[in-house]
């Protein structure tokens, strides 16, 4: 039996697309909130292999998605490289900053990351044992540019301004950080694959704020390097790329990087993407996550529109961004039933 998600990633067009959802294990589910409370705090949940596996499995039990994505966070890699990381309730992550050559030099060697990240790999091993045999396990990491924006600013920012400033004012340090993150991401994803991940996804959440040559150099090129090295180490393991808000730069992204699938954000018109992006292979997306809050006929109509637009090629149904904490679990069920025609 070949899993539905793997068929799509291999380029197969299916009558009913496989479906999963970014952040499908999360705060919109009461069972997640209960497990999170049991863990104590967010980072403790990420590093508790049994509980991280439990929250990964919860949406599979509830909805029967075609894939489970490892529960972790993109900022575990910078922590493994030696950055201080903590979460402020209601505000999000905070990190010690990397803005100078000395701070960059103080980071740990890439080869030392696994001591910190071993609990993540154990989560993967548990999931491979416990997931239903028809459910694909996805591993993931943040893309170097997106992770760097947090490391440079010490937090999330609306416009990634501190990272853009460092890129322009001290490109030696900036490029050095991107290089270190690229190497670390390769080793991190490779270890996830060795532990049992069947697919990996590279999340470049802030790719859209890179313009022109900067996009080619710091979004496209690191994704290409990571993908090619993973393909060399793990032939046959598919890679999904998500250069969010790339706009016209979604065109040709798969060919330029070697990814097996391009995930699309909700701003992308599905018919445009079918004509311009899906021609190169599998696409993933791209229902607006707001429909998971509002539901109703608009959710059904937009879901059908996306399924129809991508019906002539390989497609994985997903949201265009992660589901939000205020989403109604019933709307997720409605989305799934609409995709599957049940």
All domains of the chain, ordered by start, with CATH? 4-340 (3.20.20.210)
- C-alpha span between 278 and 262 (Å, rounded): 8
Helix (H) or strand (E) holding 61: helix 49-63
**Number of residues written out for the chain:** 342
Phi-psi region of 6 (alpha: psi -120 to 50; beta: other; left: phi over 0): alpha
Backbone torsions φ then ψ of 123, nearest 5 degrees? -60, -45
Alpha helices (runs of H) in 260-321, residue ranges in sequence order? 270-276, 291-294, 296-309
Sign of CA pseudo-dihedral 284, 286, 290, 296: negative
Torsion of CA 176, 177, 182, 185, to 10 degrees: 150
Give the tens place of pLDDT for each residue, 296-330. Answer: 999 999 999 999 999 999 999 999 999 999 999 99
Could you report the per-residue pLDDT of 251-268, keeping only the tens digit for each?
Answer: 999 999 999 999 999 999
Task: Report the first-to-last Cα separation within the chain, whole angstroms.
Answer: 22
Pick from 143, 119, 128, 105: nearest CA to 219: 143
Q: Chunked in runs of 10, what are the mean pLDDT values of the chain (342 residues)?
A: 94 98 97 97 97 98 98 98 93 95 98 98 98 98 98 97 98 98 98 98 98 97 98 98 98 98 98 98 98 98 98 98 98 98 80
pLDDT of residue 89: 83
Strand 282-287 relative to strand 315-319: parallel, antiparallel, unpaired?
parallel
What is the model's pLDDT at position 90? 83
CA distances from 214 to 163, 164, 180, 218 (A): 12, 10, 18, 6
Between CA 327 and CA 287 the distance in angstroms is 13
**What per-residue confidence (pLDDT) applies to 160?**
98
Active site residues: 23, 27, 36, 73, 150
Closest Cα to residue 293, out of 340, 247, 335? Answer: 335
Helix (H) or strand (E) holding 80: helix 76-80
SS3 call for 240: strand
Distance between CA atoms of residues 51 and 244, nearest Å: 29
* Angle at which helices 329-340 and 296-309 cross, to 10°: 40
**Packing angle, helices 171-195 and 221-233, rounded to 10:** 30
d(CA 300, CA 99): 47
Cα dihedral 186/59/319/46 (nearest 10): -40
pLDDT attached to residue 340: 98
pLDDT, position 48: 98
10 CB-near residues (< 8 Å, 6+ apart): 2, 238, 260, 314
User: What is the pLDDT, as a whole number, of residue 233?
Assistant: 98
Residue-by-residue DSSP string for 134-195? TPEEEEEEE-HHHHHHHHHHSS--SS-HHHHHHHHH-HHHHHHHHHHHHHHHHHHHHHHHHH
């Amino acid at each position: 039996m070949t899993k539905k998600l793997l068929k799509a990633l291999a380029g197969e067009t299916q009558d009913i697309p496989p479906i999963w959802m970014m952040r499908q294990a999360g705060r919109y589910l009461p069972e997640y909130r209960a497990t999170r409370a049991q863990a104590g705090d967010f980072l403790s949940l990420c590093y508790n292999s049994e509980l991280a596996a439990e929250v990964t499995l919860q949406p599979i039990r509830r909805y029967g998605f075609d894939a489970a994505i490892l529960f972790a966070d993109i900022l575990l890699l910078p922590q493994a490289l030696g950055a201080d990381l903590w979460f402020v309730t209601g505000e999000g992550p905070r990190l010690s900053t990397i803005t100078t050559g000395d701070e960059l030099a103080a980071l740990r060697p890439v080869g030392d990351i696994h001591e910190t990240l071993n609990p993540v790999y154990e989560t993967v091993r548990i999931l491979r044992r416990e997931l239903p045999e028809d459910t694909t396990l996805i591993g993931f990491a943040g893309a170097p540019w997106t992770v760097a924006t947090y490391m440079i600013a010490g937090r999330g920012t609306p416009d990634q301004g501190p990272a853009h400033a460092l890129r322009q004012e001290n490109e030696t340090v900036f490029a050095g950080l991107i290089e270190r993150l690229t190497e670390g991401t390769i080793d991190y994803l490779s270890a996830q694959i060795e532990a049992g991940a069947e697919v990996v996804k590279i999340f470049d959440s802030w790719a859209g704020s890179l313009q022109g040559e900067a996009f080619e150099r710091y979004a496209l090129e690191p994704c290409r390097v990571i993908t090619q090295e993973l393909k060399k180490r793990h032939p046959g393991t598919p890679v999904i790329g998500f250069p969010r808000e790339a706009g016209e730069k979604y065109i040709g992204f798969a060919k330029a990087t070697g990814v097996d699938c391009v995930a699309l954000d909700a701003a992308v018109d599905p018919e445009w993407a079918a004509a311009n992006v899906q021609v190169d292979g599998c696409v993933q997306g791209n229902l607006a996550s707001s429909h998971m809050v509002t539901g109703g006929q608009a959710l059904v109509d937009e879901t059908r529109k996306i399924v129809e637009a991508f019906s002539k090629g390989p497609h994985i149904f997903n949201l265009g961004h992660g589901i939000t904490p205020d989403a109604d679990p019933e709307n997720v069920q409605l989305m799934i039933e609409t995709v599957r025609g049940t």
